[in-house]
Structure 1
Amino acid sequence: MRLTKTRSDAAAVVKGGHVTVNGADVKPASKVVVGDRVEALLNRRQRIVVVRRVLSKRVGAAIAVECYEDESPAPPERDELEAAFAQRDRGAGRPTKRDRRQIDRLRGRSR
């Protein structure tokens, strides 16, 4: 299991201020050492990992997974996620501007 799909995605998450190491904000080039606790907010889910081994070069996913311990809380149940999103009735037509604003508010995209 990887935290982000690419290195550039990881850098964007760090630049966005969604990652802390031992409770302190970090920059994309920050170094980690064995025992560091990395907390990240990824896809609306809190991820917590503890560094167990630092690698000097890039390796495959099977080896990388052995280098950290995942202490993240369990993901929410599927039913909870589905209940959070409103669904329109089939055949209701295209949403009006008012409908779109309400949908955006529900999804947390309001201004």
Structure 2
Amino acid sequence: MSDKKPAKVRLDKWLWAARFFKTRALAKAAIEGGKVLYDGQRCKVSRTVDVGATLQVRQGYDDKIITVLKISEQRKGAADAQLLYEETAASIKKRMDEADRRRKFAQSNPLFDHKPNKKERRQISKFKDETTL
């Protein structure tokens, strides 16, 4: 099996092959929506990817800043896909800090198992009125 490198690969195809998105259509939508920046600039879906380029990819709450190490247009396993890019140390640290902040915020906001009934709403309203005085 020969491992030839493609000369040109579109950005949406590379993001799909690197397993950032499950389908090329999702990759295309993210690029068009401005969630993927190529060397700090918005770009088109058909932009060719170069080795050494810096990509900023927003997925959910996370922003990943990566450097392209290899070019591939073929989707392979997750271990092989991770060899196509390298995430910067600053990006990893920022993602971990943000995840920790979200986790702490979620712990400080209690989740209720039910919607307040009429009596509980009155008690909440009374409590709020007492605290504003």
Under a length normalisation based on structure 2, what TM-score does the superposition of the two structures give? 0.58
Report what 1:12 is aligned to: 29
Residue 39 of structure 2 is aligned with which of 22, 29, 37? Answer: 22
SS in 2 for 1:17: coil
Gaps of 5+ in 2: 1-17, 118-133
Q: CA RMSD in A?
A: 2.5
Residue 106 of structure 2 is aligned with which of 54, 77, 82? Answer: 82
Q: Aligned residues: percent identity?
A: 24
Structure with bigger helix share is: 2
SS in 1 for 2:63: strand
* Correspondence 1:64 to 2:81: yes
Gaps of 5+ in 1: 95-111
Higher relative contact order (CA 8 A, sep 6+): 2
**Aligned positions, number:** 92
Cα pair 2:37 2:56 within 8 Å, conserved: yes
Structure with bigger strand share is: 1
Residue 92 of structure 1 is aligned with which of 102, 112, 115? Answer: 115
Task: Please tell me whether Structure 1 or Structure 2 has the larger radius of gyration of its CA atoms.
Answer: 2
